[in-house]
Structure 1
Amino acid sequence: MLTGPPRRPLDAWMAAVDADDPPRLHQFVRGLRRDYDAVRNGLTLPHSSGSVEGNVIK
């Protein structure tokens, strides 16, 4: 999912969760769908705020 083509693995994984019956994963996927653009961008764009977040937590 992190190294494959954008969107397809994430969408396929979310569809597989919908087709199965793990209630906590259903809740997680609902959260991903609420902010889908940000999730997709986080998985596909080369930009990261990781270094900034690391300094904020210190």
Structure 2
Amino acid sequence: MVTVNGSECVGCGACADVCPQGAIVVEDIAVIDAGKCVDCGACIDECPSSAITE
């Protein structure tokens, strides 16, 4: 499963915009719903701060 490094996340929402499952919401930082995430990696590729990793 992908994880968000909270100290690196800038809360821009790019990951949420590209997530095909709607598994990401942005509060102050991105939060991934493990029940919805299918590990497609789209958010990893889109994150400008490299805060999302596998």
TM-score (norm 1): 0.25
Higher strand share: 2
The TM-score, its normalising length taken from structure 2, stands at 0.26
Bigger relative contact order (CA 8 A; separation at least 6): 2
Larger proportion of helix = 1
In our comparison, the structure showing a higher alpha carbon Rg is 1
